[in-house]
Amino acid sequence: MHSCHDLEQYAQFLQLVEEAKAAGHRHPLKWAIQEAVRRNILRDYLERKGGEVLSILMTEYDYATDMAVLKAEAYEDGLFVGREEGISIGLERGLEQGLERGAYQNKLETARSLLLDGFSAEMISKYTSLPIEAIQQLVD
């Protein structure tokens, strides 16, 4: 413990809590926090987070409540990740569909130009992979 300054100071803080309880202080946790700050024990942390420390130390630990909170947080995390993955998959699928439609439209435009230049529907179908029916609809 002596090799870790923060851990040593935490142990000193806990000792102050025990002293306050033994001395019969009305609010031993508040007194210990104030005394620790005065003695420069975990001072920076307690000045910033003293209220949270007091709240945590005063709260009775309840395993069932803790597990319920952890499960709710995990569920929310899962929803967030699922939404993010869903958006990503949706964008990928949308991009694929858009590219496919664009390629198909490009083939139709090429077929239309080739028809205007006098190429047969069979020849256009062979080189664009478009069905002859689709090419014939361009003529109609």
Cβ contacts of 134 within 8 Å, gap of 6 or more: 108, 111
What is the C-alpha separation between 126 and 120, in angstroms, rounded? 10
**Comparison of pLDDT for 138 and 68, the residue scoring more:** 138
Per mean pLDDT, which range of 55-64, 79-88, 131-140 is the poorest? 55-64
pLDDT surpassing 60 at residue 42: yes
**What local confidence, expressed as pLDDT, does residue 59 receive?**
67
Q: Quick check: 33 and 53 in contact, CB under 8 A?
A: yes
Residue holding tokens 């809590």?
17
pLDDT tens profile 52-78: 777 777 765 566 766 777 787 878 877
Question: Minimal CA–CA distance to 53: which of 82, 26, 30?
Answer: 30
pLDDT surpassing 70 at residue 98: yes
pLDDT surpassing 90 at residue 49: no
**What local confidence, expressed as pLDDT, does residue 34 receive?**
92
The structure's pTM equals 0.41
**What local confidence, expressed as pLDDT, does residue 18 receive?**
92
Over pLDDT 90: what percentage of the chain? Answer: 23
Per-residue three-class SS string for the chain = CCCCHHHHHHHHHHHHHHHHHHHCCCCHHHHHHHHHHHCCCCHHHHHHHHHHHHHHHHCCCCHHHHHHHHHHHHHHHHHHHHHHHHHHHHHHHHHHHHHHHHHHHHHHHHHHHHHHCCCCHHHHHHHHCCCHHHHHHHHC
Structural Rg of the chain based on CA atoms: 36
Per mean pLDDT, which range of 9-13, 39-43, 81-85 is the poorest? 81-85
**What local confidence, expressed as pLDDT, does residue 90 receive?**
81
